[in-house]
Structures are given as structure tokens and as C-alpha cells.
Amino acid sequence: MQRQSFSSARRRALSLIACGTVAAGSTLVLGQPAPITSTAPGAAIRRPIPRSDEALPVIGLGTYRTFDVGEDEAARAPLREVLRRFVEMGGTVIDSSPMYGRAERVVGDLAADTGVADRLFYATKVWTRGRESGVRQMQESFERLRVARMDLMQIHNLVDLRTHHATLRDWKADGRVRHLGITHYHAGAYDELEGLVRSGDFDFVQLNYSIAEREAEARLLPLALDRGVAVLVNRPFAQANLFRRVRGREVPEWCAEFDCASWAQFFLKYLVAHPAVTCAIPATSNPAHLVDNMGAGRGALPDAAMRRRMAALVDSL
């Protein structure tokens, strides 16, 4: 999917931000949300994990499809640059799954190659049935990612939830995993996710959420905020459908009010401005797109009134 091209001025601005030459603006703290922290003007905006107060940058990196490339060096080269720039620009959260083919191994290899392994927050998933199969799969994920302790292990799409939850409770008690999570990718699972968020058994919930798919705003996001459950956002671009809707259009001039220079930043800033969202995890294999995405985690964020204006614009397209 080819994104809408930037103006030359916007390209230069993104390049300067990536190189650390200019700051992207000051952080706007919303009126009522969970805290937003930033170490310096222009630094990556961070939000705390509610149950640990460890702060994570609000823009992370997904690996679905993009990191499933195997051993081919020509295919790995842009991903190495994506990972290098991701960390250079303050990113830490990288999300994967055994479901994503060779992605975990590629992440582990490239993190070691680029010397950034100890600067990442590793999130992956268990996606199988049966206790022994789950244990074996999770052990393989540790090996592929080259970690001794997993920052976040999630039960992917709630597959065999009870079985894996029992295993992961023990693993968390033993210190093998730091946080437990659940995931799904469509609104049909929200009722079940709500019950699990209410249970208090999980530190993270990962769900689909975009400016075009706002169902989570009705109950699930407010509930996660109330119960102190961190939120990871998948499908932030509605599987690239959002870029098709804005093809041929420039971002409105009023986007400058919240330091937004592109449609990717428009879509991501809408999400991370929600007080319940801890981190959005767009996937890319393109270093330029990575730089663009990371720009959404800097500068001002839209307030509630501006978010309504943004949603109305997308709804009108």
C-alpha cells in the first residue's frame, strides 16, 4: 500500500526529527487522562503501565507480515533499519506472535545484530491448544526472541484461555514473564474481553481500534482505564483502509494545532490521545514510514473537541 506522498517541507521536517535536529513540539497533557510523561521537549511521549508505573512510549512496532521474511539479507536489510530507527527515536514496545511465521526469529536476530536487544520491551503471544503445546510454543518464543524473561506474554485471540492463563500465572510468579495479556482483533470479541478486563487477572488487553473502527470507545476503553489495564492497539490504520480513504488529499491545515504533518500521524494521534491507550503498534517494513509513525508520538496531542472534529472528517470521506 503506497501512502499519500508528503510535501517536500514535510519530508524535510520528518528527516530532521529522525536525526534529532529539531524537536517535534511540547507534550500536551490532556485534561483528564492517565498521565503522559516526556523526559524533554520533543522526546517520545510515554504512558505508564497502570499496574507497574513503568512508562512506555505511546508508539510501538508491530511485526505481523512485515517481519516474516526468513534469512534473506535483501529482505532483512530494511527491517534492520526500521528497528534501528525505532529505538533511536525512543521506541521500545515490539509486538509479535508465533502466528506471524518467522517474525519472532527475525526480531531476535536483528535486535542482536543492531545492539538494541536490551532496549526493547518484548511482547509476544501463545497461540495453540493444550498445556504442553502452549509451554513448548512459549519456550520457543523465548529462544527466537533471545530473551530470558518476557516483558509481556499474551493469549492470542483468547485461544484456550483457561489453560494458558493457568500456566502464565505460574510463570509470572516465577518471574519468567513480567506481565500477562489477552488479545483480539475484532469487535465481536469485545463482550468476552470486557469480562476478562473486569476480572482483574490481566495487566494488558490488546484490541483493534482505529479512527474508522471506534467501537472500543463505547465500553471497553473506559473499562480498561477504570480497572487499570494497559491497552495495546492493533490495526491502527484499519488494515491500510484509512490510507485509501484519504488518497489524493492533504491533511487539513488545522492539524498543525496538534503537531500533525501526515495522515499516518493523524490516524495515530487520534488513538494515543485517548486516555486509556498505552501504546499503538503499527507494523511497517519501510524505514520512512517508521519515521513518520514515530512522529505521532511527539509533540501535542488533540484534545477531546479536536478528536471529534477528526472523527467527523474521516466519517465524511
Q: Give pLDDT, residue 8.
A: 37
Asked if residue 6 lies in contact with residue 262, where contact means CB atoms within 8 angstroms, the answer is yes
Residue in this structure with the C-alpha cell 535483501, named with its chain if needed: 74
In terms of Cβ atoms closer than 10 Å to its own Cβ (0-12, 13-18, 19+), residue 37 is middle
List, in sequence order, every residue forming a beta bridge with 93; answer none if it has no partner: 121
Q: Give pLDDT, residue 70.
A: 86
Nearest to 107 by CA among 60, 176, 154: 60
Q: Give pLDDT, residue 184.
A: 95
Angstrom distance (rounded) from CA 295 to CA 299? 8
Nearest to 232 by CA among 300, 187, 184: 184
**Domain spans in the chain, listed from the N-terminal domain onward:** 24-316
- Place domain 24-316 in its CATH homologous superfamily: NADP-dependent oxidoreductase domain (3.20.20.100)
Would you write out the chain's pLDDT as a tens digit for each of its 317 residues?
444 433 333 343 344 333 333 333 333 333 334 555 544 557 899 999 999 979 999 999 999 999 999 899 999 999 999 999 999 999 999 999 999 999 999 999 999 999 999 999 999 999 999 999 999 999 999 999 999 999 999 999 999 999 999 999 999 999 999 999 999 999 999 999 999 999 999 999 999 999 999 999 999 999 999 999 999 999 999 988 999 999 999 999 999 999 999 999 999 999 999 999 999 999 999 999 999 999 999 999 999 999 999 999 999 99
Reported as type and span, the H/E element at residue 178 is strand 177-183
